[in-house]
Amino acid sequence: KNSFAYLSVIPMVHAVVLLYNYYHIKQHRQLKFEGFESFSKLAVVLKPTLLAHMKLLQRSNDSELDDPDKQLSVTEKKIMDACDISNSLDASKDIPSTEGWPISKVAVLLIDSRKENCFLKHSSMTEGFFSLIEKDLDVSSCISEVMSEGKQKRKKIKVTRNFFEDAVDEDTLQQVAFSAVKEAAGINQNELIIIRSDVAYSLSKEKTMARFYIMQCK
């Protein structure tokens, strides 16, 4: 129970950093951007129990941070990621400069046939929060969706960066989205209609975009 409670705090910390360092500063531009270390210290002041999960603040020396994966806790990594995302979005600009940013995931808002209810995930996988249906894009997921469409039948696939970039077209993104809905809700593609799609900047990975779909059950 305590472990689950701690895990549920992690996305909260991530969200708070984004809310302050991007959205709040965007509306109050006289405010100062808080970097990783200053935000970590502030988080502990506001919630002292977080100190037990802060490796950096517990160090007895001032050695340089040269291996974040080993030197930082999960909470600290989330704070660092959120600071990096906020910095790349740049609250001083009216609109983020997202040109050239790759799509890193798909997100789906699933609604019923009457457009009265929507499906939101809520489980240990979403760390206790309600969430849209989401699926990260990677080489393996894109290859599997391309294979399922029969585009690469009886051919050997050489996994390269160019293949990945070529594979992530709109058809493949839709197939990944349909697959995500199937996994989350058990609903097949032939039972769904895409009624809207768009692209938005991602709040989970720096300098990437998310392909967003609204799907309706037939």
| pLDDT for res 6 | 56
Angle between helices 74-89 and 2-18 (to 10 degrees): 20
Name residue, tokens 């349909």: 178
Tokens coding 141: 């997921």
List beta partners, residue 197.
213
Burial class of residue 210 (count of CB atoms within 10 Å of its CB; 0-12, 13-18, 19+): buried
Question: SS3 for 133?
Answer: strand
| pLDDT for res 61 | 63
Q: What is the pLDDT of residues 105-137, one digit of tens each?
A: 999 999 999 999 999 877 544 455 678 999 998
Domain boundaries, the chain: 2-89, 103-217
Regions of the chain short of the pLDDT cut 70: 1-8, 60-66, 68, 123-129, 139-167
What is each CA distance from 153 to 23, 143, 165, 215, in whole angstroms?
A: 47, 11, 19, 29
Nearby residues of 197 by Cβ (< 8 Å), 6 or more positions away: 211, 212, 213, 214
From 55, 52, 58, select the one nearest 2 (Cα to Cα). 52
| pLDDT for res 126 | 44
Backbone dihedral angles phi then psi of residue 208, each to the nearest 5 degrees: -135, 165
Q: Which CATH number fits domain 103-217: 3.90.320, 3.30.70, 3.50.50, 3.90.79?
A: 3.90.79
- How does 160-191 read in b/e, with b if 16+ C-beta sit within 10 Å? eeebeeebbeeebbbbbbbbbbeebbebeeeb
Give DSSP secondary structure letters for 193-205.
EEEEEEEEE-SSS
